[in-house]
Amino acid sequence: MIVSRTLWAIAFVAMASIVGLGVGMVARHSAAAIAGLLIWWLVVENLIVALAPARTARLLPFVAGNTMVGIEMDSPDTDLADIALTQPQNASLLAGLRGGRAHRRPRRPPTKRSEVTK
């Protein structure tokens, strides 16, 4: 039990760090990236969990990560255990989120002045 939970926690940390890297690349300012992730985790997801049905709330990234590790989600719905995703399903959900990260366009090399005047 402890070994299994530890391995799932390591997988969650690896996937969450890649999501954080993607947000950091999009935000370009570390403070904005950290604030955005904290606001999403502590405010937005909790509001969605409280207001949306459990069938929708189980697909959120931090909810999926917490249930992947084994932390149960607090929800007003009593049938949450019946519709909860399994640990491999939560891992594939986070991996899919990681695969949809933003891609930056490579910069063009600077042109020489002689090429500009031609």
Residue 109 forms part of a structural domain: no
- Total number of domains constituting the chain: 1
pLDDT digits (tens, 9 = 90+) for 85-100: 787 887 777 777 655 5
Residue 112 forms part of a structural domain: no
Residue 108 forms part of a structural domain: no
Distance CA 49, CA 72 (A): 12
CB contact at 8 A, 54 and 80: yes
Residue 90 forms part of a structural domain: yes
CB contact at 8 A, 69 and 9: yes
Residue 106 forms part of a structural domain: no
Considering the entire predicted model, what is its pTM?
Answer: 0.65
Residue 7 forms part of a structural domain: yes
Question: Which domain range does residue 79 map to?
Answer: 2-101
pLDDT digits (tens, 9 = 90+) for 5-62: 899 889 888 888 888 888 888 888 889 888 998 999 899 988 988 888 878 888 888 8
Q: Given this model, what pLDDT does residue 94 score?
A: 72
- For residue 67 the two structure tokens come to 């249930």
Question: Residue 108: pLDDT band by 50, 70, 90 thresholds?
Answer: low
pLDDT digits (tens, 9 = 90+) for 78-87: 555 567 778 7
Question: Residue 107: pLDDT band by 50, 70, 90 thresholds?
Answer: low
